[in-house]
């Protein structure tokens, strides 16, 4: 996983690469409900109707501050593993 980005004075890290906008917003809501600020970065280019998906395998990325990365990653992994268990 890349080291991350800076946004203003904040160091950000990618905590999740969603397949679509719904997944991005679901993870965003989960993290915000747990007090973790989130930045959602879409790779999509509106005028090109999905062409960006051909260049990159994911819809975009969900970023959190470096200081909260471990907590966020734990929440995301827990959510994803619960999601898979619910489907069985």
The domain segmentation of the chain, as residue ranges, is 5-83
Where do the H-state alpha helices sit in 13-87?
Answer: 21-33, 51-55, 69-86
This prediction has a pTM of 0.79
55 CB-side CA count, 13 A = 9
CA dist 17 and 24 (Å) reads 8
Summarize pLDDT for 2-57 with one digit per residue, the tens. Answer: 557 777 778 999 999 999 999 999 999 999 999 999 999 988 777 666 565 566 67
CB 30 within 8 A of CB 75: yes
Per-residue model confidence (pLDDT) at position 1: 40
Per-residue model confidence (pLDDT) at position 58: 83
The reply to whether CATH 3.40.50 applies to domain 5-83 is no
């Amino acid at each position: 996983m890349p080291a991350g980005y800076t946004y203003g004075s904040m160091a950000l890290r990618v905590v999740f690469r969603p397949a679509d906008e719904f997944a991005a917003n679901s993870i965003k809501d989960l993290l915000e409900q747990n007090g973790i600020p989130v930045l959602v970065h879409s790779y999509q280019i509106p005028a090109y109707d999905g062409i960006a998906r051909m260049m990159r395998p994911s819809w975009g990325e969900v970023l959190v501050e470096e200081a909260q990365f471990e907590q966020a990653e734990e929440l995301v992994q827990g959510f994803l593993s619960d999601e898979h268990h619910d489907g069985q």
